Amino acid sequence: MASERSLAVPSSVDASTSFEIGLYREGDEFSICALFEKVFHERKSLAQWRWQFVESSPAAPHVVVARDRAGIVIGHFGSLPRRACVGKRRFLFAQSVDSMVDPDRARGLKNPGLFAALVRCWIKRFGNEAEPIAYGLPNRAAYRIGGRFLGYTRLFDPVMFVKDVDGDARAPLADTESGEHPEPDHDDLWERAAHRLDVAVMRDQAYFDWRYVRCPSARYRFVAARRGATLAAVAVFRDAYLAPDCGAIVDLLWDGEQRDSLSEVVTRCEELARAARLHHVVTMLPLHAPELAILGQLGFRPTRCGHFVVARSFSPALPLERVRDLWWFTFGDSDLV
């Protein structure tokens, strides 16, 4: 996919810098993935990169890169546009991921030229009222630099909730179903659930298909509970997490009507964890979520996440104070799981 070269984003700096800055061009992903492995010491496949950045933004990837004189990518700053609702209004939020600079080219925090140039280019193209909120979960080094050059604010520290699931597996719950695709009437549930969520990434079927079904690097299970013919709750489960012997409830969607339906999908996720010989299940929910009362009754306990959410607003009409304490935030809003 070609980048939007007609947008007049500066694509070069003076010759003494030995690099140029510009929007992603088709073919850059080969050296982007090589840079990712060099910086983070793990492999990212071309399929994974394209799923993240191309499929999430069909018009053009929200990516700026630095290229050396040979055209090799030596710096990358990208974001994933996320359709979001704030009350009844719709926006695009930008999830920042994979901020990286070739360590052989970095100058350090006091004179970070290359990273600062990437950030300025990204802000000029994407930091505007059309995408008023940019957010991410940076490591501490990226946070220090991002706070200085991207204007990030530490918005909140997400909380995880964990349960030990050792013991004999129980029989599957009669009112739940599980599979590898969302239910056909998923959007009906989303419309009912959305009224309960003041600030949230839109969790409709199109989003679930992209985020979970088409993800090339992970396998997710969808667990659904019904009341008669009505879809009442959905959980997304993955039998892996950063910690060993741990599975994750990556997303939860509940219409808020009957507590049993939420209990059933969570308990079914516990059964999937036991079947995978895991010892723990973890999930992430905001502290204002009414779901936490039910999870507490089921034996989930809070634990430190070790990550924090940073954000910047590019629109005076949507200040961070408006979203800070209302954001419905789960593992699915990050790239942790």
- Under the banding of pLDDT at 50, 70 and 90, the label for residue 5 is very low
H-assigned helices in 135-241: 140-149, 186-194, 205-208
Residue pair 137/98 in contact by the 8 Å Cβ criterion? no
Tokens representing residue 258 in the block: 């009957």
Which pLDDT tens digit goes with each residue over 165-214? 986 555 555 455 677 899 999 999 999 999 999 999 999 999 999 999 99
Supply the pLDDT for residue 9: 34
Q: Pairing relation of β-strands 89-101 and 133-136? A: parallel
6 has pLDDT over 50: no
Asked, colleague to colleague, whether 5-156 and 159-304 share their fold, the answer is: yes
Average pLDDT, whole number, for the chain?
A: 87
The predicted pLDDT at position 170 comes to 55
C-alpha 166: how far from chain center: 29
> Buried b vs exposed e over 42-73: b needs ≥16 C-beta within 10 Å?
eebeeebbbbbbbebbeebbbbbbbbbeeebb
SS3 226: strand
**How much is the average pLDDT of 9-27?**
68
What pLDDT, on the 0 to 100 scale, is given for residue 107? 60
Judged by DSSP in three states, 280 sits in strand
Q: Residue 235 burial by CB count (10 A; 0-12/13-18/19+): exposed, middle or buried?
A: buried
Residue 319 has pLDDT above 80, yes or no: yes
Stated pTM of the model: 0.88
CA 255 to CA 203: how far, in whole Å?
13
Question: Cβ distance 62 to 81 under 8 Å?
Answer: yes
- pLDDT of 26 higher than 50: yes
pLDDT at residue 17 in the model: 55
Q: Are 287 and 157 in contact (CB under 8 A)?
A: no
Q: Which residues on neighbouring strands pair with residue 247, listed in sequence order?
A: 281
pLDDT for res 111: 45
Q: What is the pLDDT of residue 230?
A: 96
Return the pLDDT at 317: 87
Average pLDDT over every residue of 16-31: 87
CATH number of 159-304: 3.40.630.30
Taking residue 329's Cβ as centre, other Cβ atoms within 10 Å add up to 21
C-alpha dist (Å) from residue 130 to 2, 21, 65, 127: 21, 23, 22, 8
Element holding 134 (H helix, E strand): strand 133-136
**Section 127-133 average pLDDT:** 82
Axis crossing angle, helix 140-149 with helix 113-126, rounded to the nearest 10: 60
Return the minimum-mean-pLDDT range out of 6-10, 19-23, 131-135: 6-10
Tens of pLDDT, residue by residue over 184-196, are 999 999 999 999 9
Which of helix, strand or coil describes residue 76?
strand
Burial class (CB in 10 A: 0-12, 13-18, 19+), 135: buried
Instruction: Check if the beta carbon of residue 276 is closer than 8 Å to that of residue 247.
Output: yes
On the question of pLDDT at 303 being above 80, the answer is: yes
Contacts of 219 (CB under 8 A, 6+ apart): 180, 238, 239
Quick one: pLDDT band at residue 3, thresholds 50, 70, 90?
Answer: very low
- Residues 111 and 118: their CA atoms lie apart, in Å, by 14
DSSP state letters, 89-130? EEEEEEEEEEEEE-TTT---TTS-HHHHHHHHHHHHHH-STT
Q: What is the pLDDT of residue 55?
A: 92
pLDDT tens readout for residues 236-275: 999 999 888 999 999 999 999 989 999 999 999 999 999 9
* pLDDT at residue number 293: 96
Q: What is the four-CA torsion angle of 60, 7, 312, 118, rounded to 10 degrees? A: 90
Q: What is the pLDDT of residue 38?
A: 95
Q: What is the pLDDT of residue 151?
A: 80
Query: pLDDT-derived band of residue 106, with 50, 70 and 90 as boundaries?
Result: low
Mean pLDDT confidence for 84-101? 92
Percentage of the residues of the chain whose pLDDT score is greater than 70: 88
First to last CA, the chain: 27
Return the domain boundaries, the chain: 5-156, 159-304
Residue 97 above 80 pLDDT? yes
Asked if 91 and 318 touch (Cβ cutoff 8 Å), the reply is yes
pLDDT given for residue 235 in this prediction: 97
CA distances from 199 to 91, 92, 196 (A): 10, 12, 9
The whole-number pLDDT of residue 140 equals 73
Task: Name the least confident of 128-132, 144-148, 198-202.
Answer: 144-148
Of the candidate ranges 58-62, 264-268, 277-281, the one whose mean pLDDT is the lowest:
58-62
Between CA 17 and CA 145 the distance in angstroms is 20
Superfamily for the 5-156 domain: Gcn5-related N-acetyltransferase (GNAT) (3.40.630.30)
